[in-house]
Amino acid sequence: MTLPTTYTTMQSPIGELLLTSDGRALTRLLMSPFEVDPSWVRDDAALHPFVDQLDDYFAGKRRDFDLPLAPAGTEFQLRVWAALREIPYGETWSYVELATRIGNPKACRAVGLANGRNPIAVIVPCHRVIGADGSLTGYGGGMERKRVLLDLERRSEQAALQLD
């Protein structure tokens, strides 16, 4: 038996977010604008642990997420999204670095497309991918959101270094 998709929304520094679950894992984290499928069931309590971890992240108190994830994608996309989770907090990789990490340095364009289709933004940190020259490049959530996320991580990283 398939469980219904549950969802919740939350406010964040990058706007309203939509989180969905299959009852076992997070399946989507989308930024507005988004559409809620009429067949989905709102369940704020079930998604509360996910919201808590995101709140901690946005407050600069969390660098890593320990949430079960179940993004839907091709085998290639899943490899790219797994590699994205290896980018350390507060750091960035180029598309070339990401393609090299998955074993195909010539797949930069395909990596970029997979990155753009990431269904679990923020937690699967596609915002940490930049151009080979160090420039900020396209981001499905918009360049301003990408800047906000990277700045948040840099500020948190700098604050942590000052405490050491």
Active site residues: 126
Amino acid at 112: G
Amino acid at 128: R
The answer to whether 44 touches 50, Cβ cutoff 8 Å, is no
* Total length of the chain: 164
- Decide: residue 35, CB within 10 A, 0-12 exposed, 13-18 middle, 19+ buried: exposed
Structure tokens at 73: 């994608």
Amino acid at 15: G
